[in-house]
Structure 1
Amino acid sequence: MKGAHDIFFNDHGIKFVLEHAWRELRHDHKWCRASALKDSASSKRKKVDEGGSAQSSNNVEAGVHVDDAAEMRPPGVKASKSKAKKQNGCKEEGKALLEFQNLWSIRQQDLELKVEIAKSRKQDMEMKSKLAKHKTLDNLLAKTEPLSDIENALKNKLISELLS
């Protein structure tokens, strides 16, 4: 450890003061992988061989990807938040669709109810009209005095409507 401190002081010109943080994080998965990559001398940059074989460089990259799959690092805070937002977005779209379908079915039921009400009102109006005609006919038939020509015509018309 003393040798590492001396090397750091020689390289940077200041004393290493983050030893407490290093002790906490040295076994952390993220930093262990980073030191393992440095030890194995592989990097993110492509290594170009003098022979220029593209196949060998692809093999090196494939080896790095296999190592990545073996030692998957947990997702970061930003990645977790964006994933959660995407999932919530899908859920919200599903909720919105479900809500729209519910509102649409309610609207259709309301429309059907209005149609039924309109039909019943029309039937009520027809019944009221028939009742009014019956009353008029009853009044004309109840008269003891001789009916005028207009009243006779109205009585005959009402009787023919009721019989048809």
Structure 2
Amino acid sequence: MNDNDVLKLAHEIYFNNQTKKFSLEHAWNELRNDQKWCELATSKTESSSKRRKFADGSHSGASSQFNERDAGVEGTSRPSGVKAAKARGKKPQVEGQDVSDYQLMWSIKKADLAMKQQLSKMRVLEKLLAKENLADYEEDLKKKLINELM
């Protein structure tokens, strides 16, 4: 039985139950291989009973919960949700890591500021070199900038 046969059978069952055609096939095509729904389908087929059977044949009680992760059942792990990501972001980080991050950012910022100052001085020097008639204070500034930059 291939996918088309299964789909036709599902359409017939839906029509018999709802007395109308299934109109959401485009949504089903998008979501049928989605991680969330694949896990939901496999968990339903694995166990339909609320009580689990142990290897010795006894049933688990309602108060003792059976966790699939504890049992070693391997499945695809779902990505963390919005709330979990937000909680992880609010969790305090290691103090030493924050300090080192800030020191790194500060050193980059200082180097960037020094480059900007040097570029500013170069522009002023270029303008002074382009001028022919300079005042005394402009001549002094030009000599000072040449000594600093060269």
Q: TM-score category by the smaller chain?
A: 0.3 to 0.5
Q: TM-score, normalised by structure 1?
A: 0.39
Which has a greater percent of helix? 1
Bigger relative contact order (CA 8 A; separation at least 6) = 2
Q: Using structure 2 for the length normalisation, give the TM-score.
A: 0.42
